[in-house]
Chain A
Amino acid sequence: MFDFIVSKYNYWMYIVLMMIGFYAMIGKNNLVKKIIGMNIFQTAIILFFVSIACKKGGATLPIIKHAHGAEHAIKVSHYLNPLPHVLMLTAIVVMVATLGVAIAIIIKIYREYGTLEENEILRKLK
């Protein structure tokens, strides 16, 4: 059981982080805290993607085999798959944009209602 947790620790980390973010999005009353939760939720996914770039085992990398100055193939355990990192660069951009839109809307909400507590805003809406 302990082994099971330790050997897959990266997945446990991302799930715990994701649930912290999820809790903040559902449970918190303050809109800024919700946004922070949303950010934690997204960051957990970045960590997940980055951690799957690491491969184990004795397989070799077919791409590097024919490259210049690399006579012998490189073992995957000595190397990180760059593609998830690149995907996450794009995903980070998307997340920054989401954060920007969310914060812009929060600013407008604050100007209109004078508060960022959800229950107070709902009371003022009625």
Chain B
Amino acid sequence: MIDQAPILIIVVPLMCAFLTPILGQLNKKLCYFWVVSALTASVVFSVITLQVVLKSGAIHYYLGNWAPPWGIEYVIDHLNALMLVLVSSVALLVAIYSKKSVEQEVSGKTAFYTVFLLQVVGFLGIVITGDLFNLYVFLEIASLAGYGLIAAGEKGALIASFRYIIMGTVGACFYLLGVGYLYMVTGSLNIADLANILPDLYSSKVVLVAFAFFMVGIAIKMALFPLHVWLPDAYTRAPSSASALLAPLMTKVSIYVMIRIIFTVFKPCFSIETLPVAKIMVWVGIAAIIAGAIMALAQTDFKRMLCYIIVAEVGYMVGGIGLANPIAIKGAILHLLNDAVMTLGLFLVAGIITYKLKSHTLSDFHACFRKIPLTMIAFVIFALSIIGVPPTGGFFSKWYLIQGAVIAQNWSFVVVLLGSSLINVILFFRIIEIGYVFHDSDQNHSHGEKKITINEAPFSMLVPTLTVAISIILIGIYNQEIVKNIIQFAVPEL
């Protein structure tokens, strides 16, 4: 059973996804428990896999027992294993959370849960696979499911989803072209095999073109700054539980793919010396942070503001990878983990607010601290983590990033990182201020004091949110252990 754990992570949710519509025909209420149990199995298997990796190093799983250069293989090393646990547990938390909000916002419950599971399968598949073409297929499964989930949202979701289809398809096609060019010169699709063959071909123009296609394709998928235009609309309009699943994971998984391509398929010496990609990435990251922070300041909608924060956070990680020294890369990978958890938490809070207030504009946040106190406590923890206040996780990854930038002597990255943290302070304290206004001054004169009672979110929404809030503090406290035992091995030899 333990030997088969890597494949079961994928197969269990995939098969369950196909059975969901049949189950939905029998009884719609069963779907929720079905999805939760499928994802629980996935979490269990990925935790088992992580433990095996921690004990005995990377796992190679040959599908159908075909040896690697010909067959498809799943490779799980420390970076993968961490991502698998992250993706599956985020998905499980969102699934538990989705019960009430899906009932309120989405009409086709069965279809929603089917696509939800396929979405998770896509993410897990991207992370686990060791084959470039297989990665493309999973990337498209994830994207197609994402288009569907977003289209189920509120007014304007359809057109946002349509735009995402157009841009996302261009991104995926560029990725596929990159695969084609590499296949032309190497005749291989296996990542480990490519890494062996490619160093002799680094001067070839075909390889350079392939690398460029990969980077642009993935940059579209991860919403890197000039190519981020699809993201804010899509994630703002999507149903709350869909955006809570997509927003933390789609960008992070794409960044994972970027790390793989830069440091595993191609050797670091190629990405740093032969092509000055790393330097460009730092500057693009800086541009993304500035643009994201400024655009976030201009928003009056809570979810839209979070979307622009994601654009800025993508800048942190891309810049951190581009700095190309071990500490900055450690910081980027730790931030990958932290940021997935933080954005998950913030989108869960956004979902609760949408559920309670039927709106997610900032001006409707009046008296939130009295209406939904526990949710707002969680919100403050996430806000502090995004700003980067110890002992929340966000502080430590930013610390590594700044340390890395100082070592690389890239002062502009340091300045931009600190500056955007200050902008985050403004962004979140603005919301906290609105939340503490307990009565409208206009109504005060005519109606007198209106009593605001506690009207906390339902249990199924509150528990995941508080779990995430506790886990972001735990990640902060145990960051040393995470870095020492897992992330340290994920950093490539430079």
Contact = CB atoms under 8 A, between A and B. Distances in A.
A106 B162 contact: yes
B347 interface: no
A48 B140 contact: no
B133 A105 contact: no
Contacts of B136: 91, 94
A22 B184 CA distance: 24
Contacts of A106: 162
Contacts of A94: 136-137, 140, 144, 172
B348 interface: no
Contact of B165 (A48, A49, A83, A101): A101
A94 B166 CA distance: 14
B158 A112 contact: yes
A60 interface: no
A112 B151 CA distance: 12
Interface string A91-126: 100100110011001101100100000000110010
Contact of A45 (B148, B159, B166, B176): B176
B212 interface: no
Contact of A105 (B165, B172, B176): B165
A106 B147 CA distance: 12
Interface residues of A, number: 29
Given A97-B144, A101-B148, A105-B147, A41 B176 contact: no
Q: Which of A94, A108, A112 gathers the greatest number of chain B CB atoms within 10 Å?
A: A94
A52 interface: yes
Contacts of A30: none
B148 to A, nearest CB: 6
A71 to B, nearest CB: 24
Given A48-B180, A49-B180, A98-B140, A41 B159 contact: no
26 contacts: A22-B170, A38-B165, A38-B166, A38-B169, A41-B169, A41-B170, A42-B169, A48-B180, A52-B183, A83-B183, A84-B180, A84-B183, A87-B133, A90-B133, A94-B137, A94-B140, A97-B140, A98-B144, A101-B144, A102-B165, A109-B159, A109-B162, A112-B158, A121-B159, A125-B155, A125-B156
Given A94-B144, A105-B165, A108-B151, 8 more contacts: A25-B170, A41-B169, A41-B173, A42-B169, A87-B133, A102-B162, A102-B165, A105-B147
9 shortest A-B CB distances, which residue pairs? Answer: A94-B140, A109-B158, A102-B165, A52-B184, A101-B147, A105-B151, A105-B162, A108-B158, A49-B180
